[in-house]
Structure 1
Amino acid sequence: MIQRSVYIGTNGNATGKRMVALGMMELAARRFGRVAFFRPVVHVGPNEDQSIRMMRSRYGIVTPADEMFGVTRAQARQMLADDRYSNLIQLIQQRFKSLEAKADFVVVEGTSYQGLAPELEFELNADIAANIGSRVLSVYAMGDRSVDECVQSVLIGNESFVDRGAQLIATIINKVPDDQSTALNAAIKTSKLDSKAPLYFLPDEPLLRQPTVREIQSGIGAKLVSGDESSLDREVAVRKVAAMQLPGFLERLSNAALVMTPGDRSDILVGCVLACSQPDGPSPAAVVLTGGILPPPSIRRLVENANALPILVAIEDTYTVASKAAEVRAEIGDHSPRKIESAIGVFERHVDTDSLADRLQAPIVPRITPMLFEHSLIQRARQQRVKIVLPEATEPRILQAVDVLRRRDVTDVVLLGDPNLIAAAAARAGVMLPNDGLEIIDPATSPLRNSFASEYYQLRKHKGVTTDIAHDRMIDVTYFGTMLVHRGLAGGLVSGAVHTTANTIRPAFEFIRTRPDVNVVSSVFLMCLKNGVLVYGDCAVIPNPTAEQLTEIAISSAETAVQFGIEPRIAMLSYSTGESGHGEDVDKVREATAMVRKRRPDLLVEGPLQYDAAVDPDVAATKMPGNPVAGQATVLVFPDLNTGNNLYKAVQRSAGAIAIGPVLQGLNKPVNDLSRGCTVTDIVNTVAITAIQAQTVAS
């Protein structure tokens, strides 16, 4: 898989991430076709965001600004205050995915660390990056910090990104003083910070720290009274308050200085104008007259438009104006072309852009977060319209899930039961049943009942089923719903919120039956962990599988993984790893592993493996170094139902994992079971899974 985006994330304010974003946009514009830009959180709105304005202008992005951001800072604050952190991530994710679908590559500039708690904001950046599926280019600033402080900051930051499921593509340390680069490089090598991803140093570029006259004008609320608009784009190298007499002031005047002086100091103003007229300077960048005082007309005529020196007037006193001016921070924006070119120049001189581009284009094994996985389920279910049967039509959770499914336009739904009872149950649940995409069928009165009963009788008469029994069975909503699937009148069935697992799957075993290439029906749980999604099988159907059945479970589970965008790397689990143990149970797993390799040589499989050796890279490096499955397994096949069922519940409860399933595999058409403790989200996800399985059957 090639990821189509990069997230520029940092751990604090003023690290220079906008400069890095510019460099990445320049790189992406050369390497990819349609390049887009995204900000997860903007201050006020997208049209006021300097990064969005600059990228749209410089790179000719036609995407409306309203589609290039996630939320405003006020929205983020409110959702966090309401304890809706996951909803905030999901909202940003949905808006990003809509943009990503229209582009070949997206550069994402993370949040600006202005207005939220820094610790929370770092976690937010890491979670956003992981849940939109972007690799991270982490950015840190050295500045005045010591080498040890800088290295420690990068270590903690990068480890935190990885711990929250993000994948690092490279690291940049910005604002590195020339006299510290050698010591910093040595410390980086000692700490092995660059062992897993490249690390680049960017020097401190003074021009990028210098605000423009326009930025200071905005910061102090001043008005331009002389000079043209273009002169406001000059950089200010130093801020000076002129309080002494003119001769002493001129001795201290320097190039590109912002001179702040009371408006009645005409001598200072004239002196600055004269200084600008001298070829060898020093030439100030602008003069700010404070106190709201304009010079007399005679002076104004003398200095008006002199050498285009911008003259500003601020209402407040000199001390207040100087204090505000000191707080103005330089920004790279569409009004500062020299800064833009300087920023790109620094980036391209000190970053191996060809190597970085190659890394961006290299396929990787993706780490799918639970939220990203759920989003992908919904997106894939939408791709081809499928009708899913929900027999438990009066259950409030089912009705609430139907509301979600139709509002998000995921799939069409068939509810089974008395329409009046269903309507009453919907009213009690506070659900307005939709007018489109929903069909309600009452098996007791449906004209399909007789033909369904006749077919069921023909299929099961060898098992003692009579016509009367067949007619009675077709009143049962699960049997009727399964027959809808069998006949092709619906794509799949989901039940189990009220019914037992046996009630849900028995009709499927009786007449949907297994695919021609499959001898056993088995199941998997899709375990959504913090850092990825794993496939657990079998945890619900076959109590004590034989070696042959374990082989089929492994192959079916791998195929299920592929269906849902998970690259299958199969671990056949046991109490022993490799050749270290012997006995009937471990030998069965060893035999099944050999059979999988023989039947499907295209699959990556290893066994027997202990659970820790299957999922923990550090343990795998000790027990099975260099093995392509050990430490990075995605499909885990348990030796028996007792082990699998207990372990999935333990992981679900102890690790806070989301367990989706059991997902039945091996049937001709999809029928899936719900836990009786399922949530509305569980139902929505299972319906989406069933729809995806039905799409595969249809194709």
Structure 2
Amino acid sequence: MNKQNIYVTGAEQGSGKSIIMLAIMDMLSGYAGKIGFFRPIIESQEKQDELIQLVKHKYQIEFSNDAMYGCQMKEAQELIENNKYDELLKRILSKFRALSEQCEHVLCVGPDYVGDDSVFEFDFNADLANNLGCLIMPVVQGQGRNDLQIIDAVSGLKHALQEFHCDLLACVINGVAVEQVEALRKRFSHKPEGRFPVYIVPVEPSLFKPSMGNISSQLSAQVLSGNKQTLNKLVNNYKVAAMQVPNFLELLDEGDLIITPGDRADIILSCFMAYTSSNYPQIAGLLLTGKQGTAFQVQHLLAGLADMPFAVLSVKHDTFSTAMQIKDVKSRFYSQDERKIATALGLVEANLDFSELRQRISAEHPERVTPLMFEYEQIQRAKKNIRHIVLPEGDEDRILRAAQILLLRKIVKITLLGDVDKIQQKIQSLGLQLDDINIIDPLKSELRALYAEAYFNLRKEKGITYDMAYDIMSDVSYFGTMMVHLNHADGMVSGAVHTTQHTIRPAFQIIKTRPGTSIVSSVFFMCLEDRVLVYGDCAINPDPNAQQLADIAVSAAETAKMYNISPRIAMLSYSTGESGKGAAVDKVRQAVAIAKRAHPELKIEGPMQYDAAVDAGVARTKLPNSEVAGNANVFIFPDLNTGNNTYKAVQRSTGAIAIGPILQGLNKPVNDLSRGCTVTDIVNTVVMTAIQSQSEN
């Protein structure tokens, strides 16, 4: 595999290169193995580099901070001022190579500036990219420029790159006004042989707005009250509140940051009252100034509030100084800001041709598959044919946060079920961006009568009357399942609150099993450090017989293929080969024979112990002529007790990511969640459900 590293840099100040960096990092994580991240120059060791912290958190990079940068800004400036430029390059190159040797690819992001001259910034980055042996990806500022200015900027960039003989990956023009996008795309669409691609990314105003977290970090403010959600709120305007309350209320606008002295109890309390009132816009946060502090009684009052609607920050500077400082606060990414990260990824992914970029990087896909690679591939597949997923637990916090990520990244369409007012209130209290999401209340929906009629026709032979069916359709699980059955949605995901039975019973009654399948079963995708395994059945069937076990294996093979895994199936037991005796091992032996007769094309063997299935050395001893043993990637357990305990043991002992359970054997996709699921688990399950739906058509 061609080991190629990438260098993303701004062609000038304010280009917004961190937005592009994030998407390229996401792309690399999706198809490459071990990825490194490197900053040639950071501001200082004392103040942690924000991009390094973001990337380490989001992509689980395990290198130390020290391994991920070349030198500090002060050192770089001293070396340049003392005519030791080559020594600076050598220091950076030495640390870069040490990191690169441990990685398949390294993404390098250039510093904002070196010295006072912004032209020197790009010259330095171009030279450094050459010395590090990277493909360079410059980002040109599009915001505030007309077409001619942008064309001139790209032309000047081209000459600079030719002067430095850079190996160019692509050029990105970032932040272009929406009305200019199509004309510029036409202008740069013609690429003669050897010419680099130019991508146009339209402006997204929310990415240029600082969050409360940005303000807290850059002003070194004390967080008196705030959590991840309130600190992620975007600030539209700054307002200094030095007037009386009536005048202050008249000036409030949506998304304001209110700056006021810490002893202005009247303003502080008015902010909270205004936030809960439908007559006033909702502010982004409150910044208290001065050394005098807030009265104990007011702090005590606020501390008793169950849910703080916005962050409250405090600084020691006076109000005037604070107002001056806050003008310099920049919008930056940080690891907890899921909304801004999802927005940025969705924007860039929609406007860059990642297939073309991968071809230009000329890197072959590695044989091993990491969790991030697997996740990336599935997300890209889901986005190619966007499906509609219904989430019955519409007022659950984790469901709503997952829905925001899925919508901002444009992965699926979503319908939430539940009380519309309650869900909207929850969305508002969590500070989520779900303005256009579809919400249906089964109790009030016009579809309820239609669904009741359909359910009555399906179940009338079971003694169900129309009135009973109408009552049943008030249940969100039944309503959501009927949406899927009648093609009003492509799939359903539930179980964050509901039990497994509450989720899957309606599916058994309404959607039913696929023709030729005797049993509905499940698999987990176990994402280990360097591969993805399929485990089944670990969630549904307590003690399947031989025929059912064979059907589970065949279904698991089909599911594996659906997600681009070529199945090599190990039918597991306490014995390997012909040595074991007893009802349990005989059941597995019979299941293998049944599956082979029905599907002779499958690579399926058993009975087999787990060590023989995964360990090539053990396999050579126990099953020397097997094409599955030692190389299995689909594991069928003989019963639920074994399967459920094994998947949880592997998950907890190795840190593997377990995606599932993914149900198989139904006519249409309905999937269950664990009640202990995380937001990431929900996102992954929705993505897998969307791909199941694509495969149904």
TM-score of the two chains, using structure 1 as the length reference: 0.53
* Paired amino acid for 2:99: E
CA contact (8 A) 2:37 2:55 kept: no
Equivalent in 39, 43, 57 of residue 5 of structure 2: 39
Q: Counterpart of 2:419?
A: 418
Q: Counterpart of 1:539?
A: 538
1:251-275 alpha-carbon deviations (Å, 9 max, x no partner): xxxxxxxxxxxxxxxxxxxxxxxxx
What secondary structure sits across from 2:618 in the alignment? helix
Q: C-alpha distance in 2, partners of 1:365/1:464?
A: 57
Q: Say whether 1:87 aligns with 2:88.
A: no
Q: Say whether 1:479 aligns with 2:478.
A: yes
Q: Counterpart of 2:550?
A: 551
Q: C-alpha distance in 2, partners of 1:511/1:573?
A: 33
Q: C-alpha distance in 2, partners of 1:113/1:610?
A: 52
CA contact (8 A) 1:89 1:128 kept: no
CA contact (8 A) 1:664 1:671 kept: yes
Q: C-alpha distance in 2, partners of 1:395/1:474?
A: 20
Q: Counterpart of 1:317?
A: none
CA contact (8 A) 2:494 2:671 kept: yes
Q: Counterpart of 1:73?
A: 39
What stretches of structure 2 of length at least 5 have no aligned partner?
13-23, 29-34, 43-47, 62-88, 108-119, 124-163, 168-361
Closer, same or farther: CA 122–689 of 1 in aligned 2, 3 Å:
same
Q: Counterpart of 1:430?
A: 431
Closer, same or farther: CA 621–40 of 1 in aligned 2, 3 Å:
farther
Q: Shift in Å at residue 126 of structure 1?
A: 4.8
CA contact (8 A) 1:535 1:634 kept: yes
Q: Shift in Å at residue 571 of structure 1?
A: 0.2
Q: Shift in Å at residue 40 of structure 1?
A: 3.8
Q: Counterpart of 1:663?
A: 662
Q: Say whether 1:599 aligns with 2:598.
A: yes
Q: C-alpha distance in 1, partners of 2:690/2:393?
A: 18
Q: Say whether 1:114 aligns with 2:92.
A: yes
Q: Say whether 1:369 aligns with 2:370.
A: yes
Closer, same or farther: CA 416–80 of 1 in aligned 2, 3 Å:
same
Closer, same or farther: CA 119–527 of 1 in aligned 2, 3 Å:
farther
What secondary structure sits across from 1:669 in the alignment? coil
Q: Shift in Å at residue 113 of structure 1?
A: 8.7
Closer, same or farther: CA 125–546 of 1 in aligned 2, 3 Å:
same
Q: Counterpart of 1:618?
A: 617
1:30-52 alpha-carbon deviations (Å, 9 max, x no partner): xxxxxxxx52456x6689xxxxx
* Paired amino acid for 2:600: P
Q: Shift in Å at residue 620 of structure 1?
A: 1.4
What stretches of structure 1 of length at least 5 have no aligned partner?
1-5, 9-37, 48-63, 91-110, 130-217, 222-332, 337-360
Q: C-alpha distance in 2, partners of 1:370/1:503?
A: 30
Q: C-alpha distance in 2, partners of 1:486/1:582?
A: 45
CA contact (8 A) 2:523 2:538 kept: yes
Q: Counterpart of 1:402?
A: 403
Q: Shift in Å at residue 72 of structure 1?
A: 5.9
1:370-420 alpha-carbon deviations (Å, 9 max, x no partner): 110000110111111210000111111111111100111101001111221
Q: Counterpart of 1:639?
A: 638
Q: Say whether 1:578 aligns with 2:577.
A: yes
Q: Shift in Å at residue 124 of structure 1?
A: 5.8
CA contact (8 A) 1:664 1:670 kept: yes
User: Whose Rg is larger?
Assistant: 1
* Paired amino acid for 1:424: Q
After superposition, residues 111-260 of structure 1 pair within 5 angstroms as 114=92, 121=99, 125-126=103-104
Report sequence identity in percent: 52
Q: Counterpart of 1:380?
A: 381
1:470-512 alpha-carbon deviations (Å, 9 max, x no partner): 1111011110000000001100000001111110001000110
What secondary structure sits across from 2:570 in the alignment? strand
Q: C-alpha distance in 1, partners of 2:91/2:461?
A: 71
Q: Counterpart of 2:390?
A: 389
Closer, same or farther: CA 387–362 of 1 in aligned 2, 3 Å:
closer
Closer, same or farther: CA 81–564 of 1 in aligned 2, 3 Å:
same
Deviates more, 1:113-122 or 1:629-638: 113-122
Q: C-alpha distance in 1, partners of 2:396/2:548?
A: 36
CA contact (8 A) 1:576 1:609 kept: yes
Q: C-alpha distance in 1, partners of 2:102/2:647?
A: 28
What secondary structure sits across from 1:587 in the alignment? helix
Closer, same or farther: CA 580–393 of 1 in aligned 2, 3 Å:
same
Q: Say whether 1:470 aligns with 2:469.
A: yes
CA contact (8 A) 2:614 2:629 kept: yes
Q: C-alpha distance in 2, partners of 1:620/1:112?
A: 49
What secondary structure sits across from 2:606 in the alignment? strand
* Paired amino acid for 1:681: T
Closer, same or farther: CA 118–74 of 1 in aligned 2, 3 Å:
closer
What secondary structure sits across from 2:459 in the alignment? helix
Closer, same or farther: CA 466–575 of 1 in aligned 2, 3 Å:
same
1:573-610 alpha-carbon deviations (Å, 9 max, x no partner): 00011112111111111111111111111110110111
* Paired amino acid for 1:397: R
Q: CA RMSD in A?
A: 3.5
Q: C-alpha distance in 2, partners of 1:412/1:499?
A: 22
Q: Shift in Å at residue 626 of structure 1?
A: 4.0
Q: Counterpart of 1:672?
A: 671
CA contact (8 A) 2:382 2:411 kept: yes
1:211-234 alpha-carbon deviations (Å, 9 max, x no partner): xxxxxxx9xx9xxxxxxxxxxxxx
Runs of 4+ in 1 over 4 A off after TM superposition: 44-47, 67-72, 74-77, 115-120, 126-129, 361-365
Q: C-alpha distance in 2, partners of 1:454/1:502?
A: 23
Q: Say whether 1:530 aligns with 2:529.
A: yes
Q: C-alpha distance in 1, partners of 2:485/2:52?
A: 49
Q: C-alpha distance in 1, partners of 2:368/2:606?
A: 23
CA contact (8 A) 1:387 1:492 kept: yes
CA contact (8 A) 2:512 2:666 kept: yes
CA contact (8 A) 1:486 1:669 kept: yes
Give the number of equivalent residue pairs.
401
CA contact (8 A) 2:512 2:667 kept: yes
Q: C-alpha distance in 2, partners of 1:39/1:462?
A: 65
CA contact (8 A) 1:403 1:434 kept: no
What secondary structure sits across from 2:103 in the alignment? helix
1:58-102 alpha-carbon deviations (Å, 9 max, x no partner): xxxxxx9xx999966169983575374252579xxxxxxxxxxxx
* Paired amino acid for 2:535: Y
CA contact (8 A) 2:40 2:92 kept: no
Closer, same or farther: CA 600–650 of 1 in aligned 2, 3 Å:
same
What secondary structure sits across from 2:49 in the alignment? helix
1:599-657 alpha-carbon deviations (Å, 9 max, x no partner): 11111011011111111122212222242111111100000000000111111111111
Closer, same or farther: CA 81–410 of 1 in aligned 2, 3 Å:
closer
Closer, same or farther: CA 379–548 of 1 in aligned 2, 3 Å:
same
TM-score of the two chains, using structure 2 as the length reference: 0.53
Q: Shift in Å at residue 546 of structure 1?
A: 0.5
